[in-house]
Chains A and B, each alone.
Chain A
């Protein structure tokens, strides 16, 4: 029952390795600072693009669209497929050679557009990584929104319609405010996931090219396990932990706001 405790006890011996020098080295390492930036970029994009997209699709599929279950099954499928497989599939999709990569094969059909390097281009790699993350994870968020929609009494929306609100107004002023608990949960999952993303990035780019897609987790893995600098790696892990903690505390504070549906 207390294995969970046992893991944190592990932090005890780990801290012994950490001298302040490690922290100094980490925070002055340009690569790590960039890794933090990359993580934050993914966080921002996830919140600004991935979640709204999932919400939009969830509302579109709604409660009673014919084919609802089919769409849910399909959209959620990538979540079940492992990161390794997702990564390998998308490496070939993004292949710079139109003969191998479908995306480039489609791109060169447009006149005036050349094949792109995608994962090999330091300016494009983060966008590609983000697209794949979205492909894999938006289904989870959509699923949660759909479950949240089920909990909203239909009468509330109907009442708004009768009062003369149009569809968009109803969604904006009634549905979305009522979904706020679910939205909070998805924000939580999405931010923590983005901050600690490892497998997909590792498979697709190993943090490259030239560290252009380095994440905190890949940086930690590289130092701790490939270069076996356990102390340095631990310090990186602790920085990551601090990020997660700051976010968690902020989230807990946000979570104090009451649930609008609790009175319904």
Chain B
């Protein structure tokens, strides 16, 4: 009898903290999700419904808001600009960083330590601090109001962190592999291209996914470098749209939902890569 009681108390003791844990986590989950859900609900309401009962379920759902936005050409322009910048920046970061990381991980040359220190210095300067000089340089290069400027800047600021991530990964690949390859007549670049890159695919995916998110969400760079609205990226356009249509909350909600959708879908799709990229970057840097 006595042993049974002890067991009961034990399981109670175990269950209570569990319950408490789930309670707290559940509340936090609600705090995270409710604002997002309200936004999506709002997008599915007419302007009048939004005004009368803003927090209820959108029954029946109205898709007109989405239709209205999807038929404006400027939305598609922004989407295209954002996509273009994102793809180009990510490609730039992957090419530059994998080459640089290979050099830092596998080659010896004079001034390597100095170069590496300069590289890590880049981690200390968030883009906000450097945006002034960046603007001046871009202006001198006569690249203001070009998407190329945004791509260059985003690539440049992605270099430090991502090179460190990739270098860490390259270092973990055994040197014997390279020795074997060079005995078989493989050049350094051949080793990089044929052996290292295929092996580093998970790391490259992580870096790529992370760069895509950063580029997609970047507001400051396009805000400073782009004036012509034909070149605007989605964050810039969303900000402008909210200012223009702030009285029509339902339409704004629809616009916001549409511009959030790609990022959320991408996140659900590539969560593993994003998470591993972030943890690798933060813990090694």
Contact = CB atoms under 8 A, between A and B. Distances in A.
Interface string A67-104: 10001111111101111110011111100000110100
Contacts of B17: 167
Interface in B228-285: 234-236, 238-239, 242, 249, 252-253, 256, 259-260, 263-264, 266-268, 271, 274-275, 278-279, 282-283, 285
A111 to B, nearest CB: 20
Contacts of B267: 77, 80
Given A4-B159, A196-B128, A100 B260 contact: no
A113 B36 CA distance: 26
A248 B124 contact: yes
Given A5-B118, A60-B21, A240 B129 contact: yes
B129 A182 contact: no
Interface stretch (B26-34, B180-188, B200-208): B26-34
B21 A80 contact: no
User: Most chain-A CB neighbours within 10 Å: which of B122, B131, B152, B253?
Assistant: B131
A244 B249 contact: no
Interface stretch (A9-17, A27-35, A153-161): A9-17
Contacts of A143: 275, 278-279
- Secondary structure type dominating chain A contacts: helix
B259 A85 contact: yes
A245 B123 CA distance: 11
A60 B24 contact: yes
Interface residues of B, number: 77
A1 interface: yes
Contacts of B28: 57, 75
A1 B132 contact: no
B270 to A, nearest CB: 10
A203 interface: yes
A193 interface: yes
Contacts, number: 206
Contacts of A74: 29, 32-33
Contact of A88 (B103, B238, B275): B238
Given A144-B282, A248-B124, A135 B224 contact: no
A82 B237 CA distance: 12
Contacts of B242: 88, 91, 203
A100 B282 CA distance: 39
The majority secondary structure among interface residues of chain B is helix
Contact of A83 (B32, B219, B278): B219
Contacts of A127: none
A100 B137 contact: no
B31 A14 contact: no
B96 A65 contact: no
A217 interface: yes
Interface string A192-203: 110011110011
A102 B55 contact: yes
Interface string A229-257: 01001100100110011001000000000
A237 B129 contact: yes
A182 B32 contact: no
A174 interface: no
Tell which of A4, A57, A73, A181 has the most Cβ of chain B within 10 Å.
Answer: A4
Contacts of B278: 140, 143-144
A120 interface: no
Interface string A144-184: 10011000000000000000000100000000000001100
A78, A89, A203: most-surrounded residue (chain B CB, <10 A):
A89
Interface in B122-173: 122, 124-126, 128-137, 140, 152, 155-157, 159-160
A80 B271 CA distance: 10
B91 interface: no
B217 interface: yes
A105 interface: yes
B238 A10 contact: no
Nearest to A15: B133
A77 B274 CA distance: 11
A221 B253 CA distance: 27
Contact of A7 (B134, B224, B235): B134
A83 B220 CA distance: 10
B219 A102 contact: no
A91 B160 CA distance: 34
B105 interface: no
Contacts of B196: none
A7 B135 CA distance: 10
Q: Which 5 A-B pairs have the closest CB atoms?
A: A10-B133, A82-B217, A196-B128, A3-B156, A147-B279
27 contacts: A1-B159, A3-B96, A4-B118, A7-B130, A57-B24, A61-B25, A73-B268, A74-B32, A80-B217, A80-B274, A81-B36, A82-B259, A84-B219, A88-B256, A89-B256, A90-B35, A100-B54, A102-B38, A140-B278, A143-B275, A185-B283, A196-B128, A198-B128, A220-B128, A233-B132, A237-B129, A244-B126
Given A76-B271, A199-B235, 5 more contacts: A6-B137, A14-B136, A67-B25, A83-B217, A241-B129
